[in-house]
Amino acid sequence: MKIVTTITDLRTELAKHRKSGKTIGCVPTMGALHEGHMALVKKSASQNDFTVVSIFVNPIQFGKNEDLDKYPRRLDADASLCAKNGAGLIFAPTMESMYSADHQTYVYNEPLQDLYCGQYRPGHFRGVLTVVAKLFLAMQPDSAYFGRKDYQQAFMIQKMVEDLNFPIKIVIIPISREKSGLARSSRNEFLSTSDRNNAACIYQGLCAAKEEYDEGEVSVEVLRTIVRGAIDHSGGKVQFVEIVSRKTLLPITGELTEKATILVAAFFGVTRLIDNIEL
């Protein structure tokens, strides 16, 4: 598996494929790849002539007290997984090739960046949108693949693409789950065995709320309480449970009258997990 570390080398590699008329799919990641990422790589490989996976732990999307330093990094294992699943190139840029010392320009989603995950992770989505814009402009793919686990992120990237006219098709892939139902995440490996078992309650709570909704419950408070209850009961600490409009991602209160999604963030031990379900 070829690995390039600078934008110049990346562009040289991709230009060869573009010149011969190949379509290019990209999968932006922070590495520590798992089956969820591989679902993205496989989908890209099935829909494009050439797939590039970027691996970059983006410092500007981490808060000061977050897990930037301990975020798992294992480039060799990641590269080998990518090769097996149909990727043709890895872009693993150095910090210096992504951010100059005097970097000044950032991408904002004004109404959404301080909601939900953004409320508890100030600056997180500024970091995400900025790095994704940079990666898109470095790779210039035809299509880009993201997981639905990061629901708010996927929505805001799709919105950025529409708002700024990126000529890129965004493909959102369903959440990949462990046998227990726990959404796959590079952070799951931080969980103790018992926390990893208990954390399955997040998805159980989401499914229980969806069942109630399917049976006619439209009270946002009732549905939120079901999810909160399931997590509390299993020893997790809820950060937020919100029900949001699928069209605008703005919060819904009172009764549900439009297509909605439940977003949840919870701690098990010191590890923060997120999940969601579309109603």
Catalytic residues: 37
Q: How far is the CB of 69 from a copy of itself (least distance, A)?
A: 24
Q: Candidates 44-52, 83-91, 95-103, 181-189: pick the segment binding a copy of itself (CB under 8 A).
A: 95-103
**Distances in whole angstroms, Cα of residue 46 to Cα of each of 51, 52, 102:** 9, 13, 40
Cross-strand bridge partners of residue 245: 260
Interface positions, 11-50, toward a copy of itself (CB under 8 A): 11
Nearest CA to 53 out of 63, 66, 43 is that of 43
Q: How far is the CB of 201 from a copy of itself (least distance, A)?
A: 33
At its nearest, how many Å lie between a copy of itself and the CB of residue 22? 15
Q: Name the one range near a copy of itself by CB under 8 A: 75-83, 110-118, 217-225, 268-276.
A: 110-118
Should residue 193 be labelled a site residue for a copy of itself when binding is judged by CB under 8 A? Answer: no
How far the first Cα of the chain sits from its last, in Å, is: 40
**166 versus 203: smaller Cβ distance to a copy of itself:** 166
Regarding 95 and contact with a copy of itself (CB under 8 A), the answer is: no
Of 220-279, which residues contact a copy of itself (CB under 8 A)? 248
The secondary structure element, H or E, covering residue 55 is strand 50-55
Choose among 247, 104, 91: nearest CA to 162.
247
Among 40, 92, 160, 223, binds a copy of itself (CB under 8 A): 160
Taking Cα atoms as reference points, which of 263, 257, 227, 230 lies closest to residue 244? 263
Q: What's the min distance (Å) between Cβ of 11 and a copy of itself?
A: 7
Which of 63, 111, 122, 235 forms a contact with a copy of itself (CB under 8 A)?
A: 111
Sheet of 3-4: strands edge to edge? 3-4, 89-91, 50-55, 24-29, 143-147, 169-173
Binding-site size, a copy of itself (CB under 8 A): 31
Binding to a copy of itself by CB under 8 A, coded x per residue (else -) over 118-157, reads: -----------xx--xx--xx-x---------------x-
Pick one of 2, 16, 84, 103: the residue that binds a copy of itself (CB under 8 A): 103
Longest dimension (CA), the chain: 57
Closest C-alpha to 260, from 242, 243, 241: 243
Radius of gyration of the chain (CA): 19
If phi over 0 gives left and psi between -120 and 50 gives alpha, with beta otherwise, what is residue 20? alpha
Which residue, 92 or 138, has its beta carbon nearer to a copy of itself? 138
Let me know: does 60 contact 99? Beta carbons within 8 Å: yes
Binding segment toward a copy of itself, per CB under 8 A, in 28-36, 158-166, 172-180, 231-239 = 158-166
| Other C-beta atoms lying within 10 Å of the C-beta of residue 145 | 27
Quick one: which segment of 41-49, 107-115, 214-222, 256-264 binds a copy of itself (CB under 8 A)?
Answer: 107-115
Q: List interacting residues with a copy of itself (CB under 8 A).
A: 7, 11, 100, 102-112, 129-130, 133-134, 137-138, 140, 156, 159-160, 162-167, 248
